[in-house]
Amino acid sequence: MVERLRPYCRQIPYLKIFRVLTAFFPQHFTTIADRGRLRDLHLAMFGSTGGPWPPQFETSASHAVKRHANVLARLADVLGPMAADTAGLVRCITFPWFLYEKLQQQATGICSGSPSPCSDLAVATPLITRSTMSVSVSGPSLRATRM
């Protein structure tokens, strides 16, 4: 897709490309379309940036595709298989954004003053660092329990 756009664009619109790919292939992409934010989440979840895989991909866009796959695979390990219904699919592809927001709150120290603004951080932190958690999503709230 990038190669087809390159002759017509001075700058490649990666953000728009990933939004379109998420809309068309929600089972394979998260709603984190920004490559830098996806890299940060991947680094927090896996301890690596999700570098090239065979065959050696050279572009950061291909790294982002791998990062989407890794994040969704980790969530499938923790949350179970992706639901076939629309509501379950939406929860699955938007949950990485929730994790990214909680990661940013933790990094900026928003939670240091009082625990109430980051009550969901207790849910997000174990999911980011361990794959031995079980999460049940019911309505607007999330609960995590050890397996």
**86-144 residue pLDDT tens:** 888 888 888 999 999 988 888 787 655 444 444 454 445 555 554 444 444 444 444 44
Rounded alpha-carbon distances, angstroms, from residue 92 to 7, 59, 60: 35, 26, 24
Residues 11-21 pLDDT 10s:
888 888 889 99
Helix or strand (DSSP H, E) at 138: strand 133-138
d(CA 112, CA 132): 26
The whole-number pLDDT of residue 100 equals: 92
Residue 133 backbone phi and psi in degrees, to 5: -115, 150
Dihedral class, residue 32 (left if φ above 0, else alpha if ψ from -120 to 50, else beta): beta
Percent pLDDT > 70 in the chain is 65
d(CA 45, CA 12): 28
Look-up of token digits 């079980």? 134
- Whether the CB-CB separation of 142 and 120 falls below 8 Å is answered with yes
The whole-number pLDDT of residue 136 equals: 41
Mean pLDDT confidence for 44-65: 66
Q: Residue 41: beta bridge partners? A: none
The whole-number pLDDT of residue 147 equals: 40
- Residue 125 is classified by DSSP as H
Question: Who has greater pLDDT, 6 or 122?
Answer: 6
State CA 58 to chain mean position distance: 21
The whole-number pLDDT of residue 107 equals: 78
The answer to whether residue 57 scores a pLDDT higher than 60 is no
Helix or strand (DSSP H, E) at 49: none
The alpha carbon torsion through 66, 70, 75, 80 (nearest 10 deg) reads 100
Mean pLDDT confidence for 35-57: 74
